[in-house]
Amino acid sequence: MTTGSPRVLPADSGVAEAAAVLRAGGLVAFPTETVYGLGANALDARAAARIFEAKARPSFDPLITHLADAVDLPALVGAVPPAVAALVERFWPGPLTLIVDRPAAIPPIVTSGLDTMAVRVPDEPSARALIAAAGVPVAAPSANRFGQLSPTRAEHVVAGLGDAVDVVLDGGPTRCGIESTIVDARGDRPVVLRLGALPVEALVEAVGPVTVRPGSSGQPVAPGTLAAHYAPRTPLRIGTAEQASGGGRRGFLAFRERPAAGDWAAVEVLSPDGDLTAAAARLFDALHRLDAAGVTEIVAEPVPDVGVGRAINDRLRRAAATWH
Ligand code: TXA
Ligand code: MG
């Protein structure tokens, strides 16, 4: 558990100091457009090992390597297959993580021993400035303890990781609020390994048909082991306000309207306008708040299963799977 607080710096003015910490082998949490990442120098096996330690993350769960700019990809990995290059061209910087061959410069601990590597360029100026100033690729999973809710605010990182992280760059709430979409486009037909902030529909429009891998957990070594993930500490189940029963103080996560029925101790509404992008941006923040509301159960209403709504429902299912 944590014993103290990390240094929290503004995301803009703190970049140089945070970059120096990365170069010295330290851990820096930083905002991306999706969620906050827990970064370390991806070329430094000892620094990467500290990420697994800080998160209590199993060593079989590989990290995503972050670059400052798409032009840095060929410099690190050499040529990539045309379909990968097309996705880079179309969607970077942005919430799309691509699978490439692991270059020799990246130590195997970063990829959990896989001969492939997940890589992306985040669409967040301070993140790109940090990586550029560090002058190295930055390995960064979400900055939460393994299995828990992803952080969309610096406060979430501080509460979850404490001084297991050296520096937190605070850039306010993240824009997308949900992790990147992970795609393996090395074969004939791109495979979505994890649903995320870039909707499947946008991928299809850009590159034609894709396969959405059943489960889409993004876990290549032991599929299914991450079926339970993204979980609040409070038991969560998926349901509607009408179906809800049982006593105790219960919280409700609504898509667009406060429930008319039921006796709820706390309610969070994701988007009164029914906007899925806005709902995704608020998802983890709302779950963090319900978790802090002292309720004994959270009932979460599913959202329409289109666009980024698919990724929201995926996160809710994984959160529920932890408890059932
Ligand atoms: O939006 C995001 O992707 C955020 C920000 C910080 O960039 N990062 C993030 O990292 O969500 P993380 O560690 O929470 O999730 C990364 C997932 C791993 O759980 C793993 O399943 C998948 O990426 N992954 C990493 N390397 C892979 C590989 N070589 N092949 C297949 N999946 C891989
Ligand atoms: Mg994560």
Distance CA 34, CA 287 (A): 16
Under DSSP, the state recorded for 108 is: G
Question: CA-based diameter of the chain, in Å?
Answer: 59
Of 137, 108, 115, residue with least CA distance to 40: 137
215 phi-psi bin (left φ>0, alpha ψ -120 to 50, beta other):
left
What digits encode the pLDDT tens for the residues 211-255? 998 765 544 433 334 566 778 889 999 999 887 666 789 999 999
Atom of ligand 1 nearest to the CA of 219: 21
113's tokens: 């021993």
Ligand that lies nearest to the alpha carbon of residue 30, given by its number in the listed order: 1
Enumerate residues lining ligand 1, CB below 6 A: 32, 34-35, 37, 61-64, 95, 97, 99, 111, 114, 116-118, 122, 140-142, 179-180, 182, 193, 218-220
Q: Tell whether omega for the bond before 6 is within 30 degrees of 0, i.e. cis.
A: no
Residue pLDDT tens, the chain, 324 long: 456 889 999 999 999 999 999 999 999 999 999 999 999 999 999 999 999 999 999 999 999 999 999 999 999 999 999 999 999 999 999 999 999 999 999 999 999 999 999 999 999 999 999 999 999 999 999 999 998 999 999 999 999 999 999 999 999 999 999 999 999 999 999 999 999 999 999 999 999 999 998 765 544 433 334 566 778 889 999 999 887 666 789 999 999 999 988 889 999 999 999 999 999 999 999 999 999 999 999 999 999 999 999 999 999 999 998 765
ipTM of the complex: 0.99
pLDDT number for residue 225: 40
Asked whether the beta carbons of 143 and 174 are under 8 A apart, the reply is no
Annotation-wise, does 296 bind a ligand?
no
- The pick from 182, 183, 229 for probing ligand 1's pocket by mutation, whose C-beta has the most ligand atoms within 8 angstroms, reads 182
Domains of the chain: 7-178 (3.90.870.10), 236-321 (3.40.50.11030)
pLDDT number for residue 226: 59
Annotation-wise, does 217 bind a ligand?
no
CA of 259 to the centre of ligand 2 (A): 30
pLDDT number for residue 193: 95
**pTM score:** 0.93
Atom of ligand 1 nearest to the CA of 179: 1
- The pick from 179, 181, 217, 226 for probing ligand 1's pocket by mutation, whose C-beta has the most ligand atoms within 8 angstroms, reads 179
pLDDT number for residue 113: 95
Annotation-wise, does 180 bind a ligand?
yes
Distance CA 290, CA 220 (A): 31
